[in-house]
Each structure stands twice: as C-alpha cells, then as structure tokens.
C-alpha cells in the first residue's frame, strides 16, 4: 500500500479540520465577546503578505548504515495568508511560506488553523496561533540532497498593529515539530525535523 506523504495527508484531513473550526466558530459567535474599537477590528475577510526567516533543524539519522548529522538550514523566503475573522477574537487562517532555489523547493510550509486574538490597545492586537501544517524540507548531506516531507502541528503567536482601519502591520513567530519522511526510490525513513518561522508583513481588510 502506498504511503501518504504530508501534503496528501493535509488534503485528506482538510475537510475535517474546516468542519471542526466552523463548529468552534459557531460556538464562539454565540458567546459574549469583548468590545473593541472599530480601528482594531479583526472580524471579516483579510489578505496578508510577508517576508520570512525560515529555519529547519534536522536530527541525526542513519544513511546507508552510517550516522548522519545534517546541518541546520536557515534562509529568507516569503508567504501569503488568507483569513476570516468569525468574531473579534477568533479567525480561521490559511497560510503558506517557503523558499525556492532555482527549480528546487528547499523549504515549504502549508498551514490550516486558527488565530486567537487577545485584548490589546486601540491599535495593537496580539494573537496565539495553532495550525495543522504540511511541510517539505531539503537539506544536504555528504552523499547528496535529502528530500523530506510530512505533517505536524504548529504553535506560535504574533501581533497586529493597525496602521489604519483596513491595513495592519504584522509580526509572528511559529514553530513546527515532528517527523518528516525521507523520500527516495527505496526508502521511507522518518527523520525528526523541527521548523521555525519568523514572519513580518502586512494584512489588508478589504471593504473598510
């Protein structure tokens, strides 16, 4: 039986995750929420773009019978975010980050999750993030490049600073842990690979 990789697993479970988050959102919408000024409202549809500092830290593993300790990979990249605020403190978010060198994708993340917004100032809105993440990471060893794929859970947080009612500056830090599968013609070995992302960009709330 062919083993499902991380991105295929994300697609297979996306409907379940979306349904669960919608149920949570329906409950949240019926709950009493704290009132904020309209200048920092997180309700409704938003689009975001950001630059990213992406780190991937693979653990040691056996390669052709020998212990291999690949170096950490850290690079700059970018990404996009689409979110919908169900109310002032809960939003569903789809996010993608990555970096490609020439035709090879060395680091990629695809998130589907929620953002919990905390009380803040008139323009400042901190948030906590939880997401299911599909990942792909390539890194070099003495015998060549290793391609790994899989999925895990990302946790982190960030802050929005509303420059205006429709435009906010955003910074966030996310960490993803778990095993990734090494993909080759004959191997499907699990390798522990943690990932860290520092995101800095803008978010736009159209129609305001």
Q: Residue 34 falls within a domain, yes or no?
A: no
86 strand-pairing partners: none
Domain holding 84, by residue range, is 6-29+42-204
Contact 165, 205 (CB under 8 A): yes
Give the global pTM: 0.76
Per-residue pLDDT of the chain (208 residues; tens, 9 = 90+): 334 444 444 444 444 544 454 554 444 444 434 443 457 899 999 999 999 999 888 877 767 667 777 778 888 999 999 999 999 999 999 999 998 766 566 789 999 999 999 987 789 999 999 999 999 888 777 777 788 889 899 999 999 999 999 999 999 999 998 888 877 656 667 888 889 999 999 999 998 8
Contact 81, 47 (CB under 8 A): yes
Q: Residue 66 falls within a domain, yes or no?
A: yes
| Chain position carrying tokens 């549809």 | 45
- The CATH number of the domain holding residue 83 is 2.40.160.20
How many domains in the chain? 1
Distance CA 96, CA 112 (A): 9
Q: Residue 1 falls within a domain, yes or no?
A: no
């Amino acid at each position: 039986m062919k083993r499902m990789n991380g991105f295929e697993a994300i697609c297979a479970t996306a409907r379940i995750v979306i349904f669960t988050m919608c149920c949570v959102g329906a409950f949240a919408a019926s709950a009493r929420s704290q009132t904020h000024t309209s200048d920092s409202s997180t309700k409704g549809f938003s689009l975001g773009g950001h630059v990213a500092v992406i780190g991937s830290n693979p653990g040691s593993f056996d390669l052709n019978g020998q212990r291999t300790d690949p170096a950490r990979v850290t690079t700059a990249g970018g990404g996009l975010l689409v979110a919908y605020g169900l109310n002032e403190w809960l939003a569903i978010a789809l996010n993608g980050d990555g970096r490609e060198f020439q035709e090879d994708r060395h680091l990629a993340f695809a998130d589907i999750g929620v953002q919990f917004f905390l009380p803040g100032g008139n323009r400042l809105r901190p948030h906590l993030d939880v997401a299911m993440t599909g990942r792909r990471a390539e890194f070099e060893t003495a015998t060549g490049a290793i391609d790994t794929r899989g999925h895990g859970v990302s946790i982190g947080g960030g802050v929005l600073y509303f420059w205006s009612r429709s435009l906010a500056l955003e910074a966030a830090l996310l960490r993803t842990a778990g095993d990734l599968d090494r993909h080759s013609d004959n191997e499907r070995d699990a390798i522990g690979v943690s990932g860290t992302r520092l995101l800095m960009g803008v978010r736009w709330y159209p129609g305001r």
